[in-house]
Amino acid sequence: MVHSGAADVDGYLSEVPEERRRALVTLRELCRAELTGFDEVMAYGMPAYERAGTAEIAFASQKQYISFYLMRGDVRAAFEDRLAGQDMGKSCLRFRTPDRMDFGLLRDLLRATAAEPGGSTTGE
């Protein structure tokens, strides 16, 4: 499911392959708990979390992996050591299987994103 036509995140999660659903539901719960003041929306066919109309976090079930989009360059720079060795592009952290998802790292990235206002600094 590279691009979803779901109207909301519940609809999106209902379309996700069963073997990934639990991990993505957990990720959503983590986003909702840590990103206070953010709006949960569907953007570009995936769940996204916006503050002041700007998406700063998103996630998606791609064909080959689960993507976690961290669109804040300042947060990526602050976590450079912890992100080293991860499968990461310019703004996309990729997990080949749900059991490889590091929810501790994801929680810390979400907390750092929520701690200070900032806009999306890059897309992928």
Q: Domains plus CATH for the chain?
A: 9-113 (3.90.1150.200)
Under the banding of pLDDT at 50, 70 and 90, the label for residue 90 is confident
- pLDDT at 113 exceeding the cut of 50: yes
pTM of the model: 0.90
For the segment 62-87, the average pLDDT, to the nearest whole number, is 94
pLDDT confidence of residue 5 = 82
- The 10s digit of each residue's pLDDT in 24-52 is 999 999 999 999 999 999 998 999 999 99
pLDDT confidence of residue 4 = 79
**What is the strand order of the sheet 39-43 is part of?**
39-43, 46-51, 54-61, 66-70, 92-95
